A and B are shown apart, each in its own frame.
Chain A
Amino acid sequence: MGSYVLSRLAQAVVVLLAVAFITFLLLHLSGDPALLLMPPDATRAQVIEFRTQMGFDRPFFEQFFQFLGRILSGDLGYSWRFQEPVLPLVLERLPATALLAVTALIFSLIIAIPVGVISAVKRDTPIDNASMVLALLGQSIPGFWIGIMLIFLFSVKLGWLPTSGWETPQSIILPAVTLGLALVGRNARLVRSSMLEVLGEDYVKAARAKGLSEWRVVNHHALKNALLPVVTVVGLELGILLGGTVVIEVVFAWPGIGMLSVQAVTGRDYPIVQAVILLSAVLFTLTNLAVDLLYTRIDPRIGYK
């Protein structure tokens, strides 16, 4: 058990090192990292000074270790546009993105789990077929279109919800629903297929042979097993969402990491872009680590294999 946790931690460290190295390579891909990190109107003298100051004239690997040292000490560079160090700038946007991601995921699961379970239990009935067609549809309609339609209906026509921003608590409803709907389809299909597999297991037959009600067989014996693969996928989804959901954040003017990256890219603010890449990778790795560790609590077999 302990050794499993240790090996997962070691894996995470290796992945993060690799991410740092790739980010570092990206910086050098353009040819001159100093130019990339300086504002476009910097003078030649300023660029040369910055280059020596950052050690960009040093050998490649020495530079990488300097880079590593800097990011480990939380120094992700300086945004000329915002006139601020980058890290606090990005971290400041994290809560909005995290709140949106978690709300959207919870919303998607509240719908996907019952739909997936009912579809599996009512396999090949009209209920199942209809749900799965809807799921496929939900998966294939672009999020921004759903978003715009929802804004049109609930904000413009009915005036129930704000169109954008995050000033009031209701503001989160539309972006979260939009983002969540995009996930409902995939998650419902996953729950269904996982549930179908589990319902064919011997222990489900054995549970029925004990005289348990079908409700208990499905929702106690089968569901807990069926949700194991779902936990992994939801962990991945959360990891991806934490990196910022560009389209949804832009459509709803949601002040998260996605919005910030768009501003950074259009403003050629490379330090911010780099920080967002690093932070997303770190969050993704940590989320997966957390899910794997959570797994040891919910699947007793893990760690004994």
Chain B
Amino acid sequence: MALMTDDKPDDVALAVSNLHTTIGTGPGAVRGVDGVSFTVRRGEIFGIAGESGSGKSMTAFSILRLLPTRGRISEGSILFKGEELTTLSEAGMRKLRGDRIAMIFQDPMTSLNPVFTVGSQISEAILQHRRMSATQAQAEAIRLMEIVEIPDAASRYSAFPHQFSGGMRQRIMIAMALSCAPDLLIADEPTTALDVTVEKQIIGFLQKLRRETGVAIMLITHNLNLLAENSDRIAIMYAGQIVELAPTSEIFANPRHPYTQALLNSMPRGHISQQRLVPLAGVPPRIVGKRSGCSFAPRCPMAQELCTTVPELRDCGVGHSARCWFVEGSPRHDK
């Protein structure tokens, strides 16, 4: 887990800064993503963790510009390999999607189209972005299925999704994501729906992939254990904001934000990938309208008078920042 502090521009695959994504308009608009900034470097696995509704998926879909109908990016910038995505044309985005930015989804049972063969769905991705004949695309799809170790790939090409197990389907989604050798792979809870052994295999593929191709991976998950072993840096999200961002070892050794501390204290022993992060009583708020103070305050054991003012992210170490008024002075909040 190399710690890279001086970003050479070539190394940065993705730079998101001050991203605001809202759903709906007017006073009722939900601030799904509210001022998020981070970079993902070539060959890096960048972890994003946080409770349900904290804005992880919304961040991912903002990057691909595939937001729900009423969602829109209202502010901020997304630089992908130096290219600004927030203002790129829809045709330009389509060229990137599935080619240079690929995504795999949480539920492999529902992310493949049930009425088409898995092979045709992989070939389709290939044909969309590469100059190939249908036969060449089919051969390429079979090769990709072999790479993700689907037994009997050639004959399974014409099988339908329901004929595969969840783990096999996720491999097919990965094969599809690999089809055009992307620079950025967004994996939105790729193993949440799978059991632990299958999770290991899937994460193993992602690891191998980034080693061999240098793809940058955004790994979104509820499972901090998974990130402990498989990420280089981690952003912790809460109510649409990043509340702490640090190298993985640093997050685990020296968590500074009370929310991160609570998450770590509540971490289940062993790998229970299906476990949702519910570190404290209460639920994260949905931010509508202006923020009044620190969003975590209602659940924060250390909340004080000052916390009614919105805190900024503050640097508190090398590549380490946290969004809490008491970061400098606050002692580690241990049980």
Contact = CB atoms under 8 A, between A and B. Distances in A.
B111 A206 contact: yes
A205 B66 contact: yes
Contact of B160 (A202, A208, A301): A301
Contacts of A58: none
A61 interface: no
A206 B173 contact: yes
A124 B330 CA distance: 51
Contacts of B11: none
Interface residues of B, number: 30
Interface of A is mostly: helix
Interface residues of A, number: 22
A209 B69 CA distance: 15
B80 interface: no
Interface stretch (A210-218, A260-268, A282-290): A210-218
B128 A123 contact: no
A126 to B, nearest CB: 16
B128 A210 contact: yes
A123 B70 CA distance: 11
Interface in B151-199: 160, 162-163, 173, 176
Contacts of B103: 206, 209
B94 interface: yes
A206 B128 contact: no
B44 interface: no
Nearest to A201: B110
A40 interface: no
A298 B160 CA distance: 12
Contacts of B69: 123
A304 B163 contact: yes
A300 B111 contact: no
B243 to A, nearest CB: 27
Interface stretch (B112-120, B290-298, B309-317): B112-120
Interface in B60-93: 64, 66, 69
Given A123-B69, A300-B160, A304-B162, A210 B113 contact: no
Max count, chain B CB within 10 A of own CB: residue among A123, A207, A225: A207
Interface in A213-256: 213, 221, 224-225, 228
A299 interface: yes
A213 B90 CA distance: 10
A211 B107 contact: no
Contact of A211 (B95, B105, B162, B163): B95
25 contacts: A123-B69, A202-B110, A203-B110, A203-B111, A203-B112, A203-B113, A203-B114, A206-B103, A206-B111, A206-B112, A208-B66, A209-B66, A209-B102, A209-B103, A210-B97, A211-B94, A211-B125, A212-B94, A212-B124, A225-B113, A225-B115, A228-B115, A299-B114, A301-B114, A301-B160
Interface of A: 123, 201-203, 205-213, 221, 224-225, 228, 298-301, 304
Given A203-B114, A208-B64, 8 more contacts: A206-B112, A209-B64, A209-B97, A211-B97, A211-B125, A211-B129, A299-B114, A300-B114
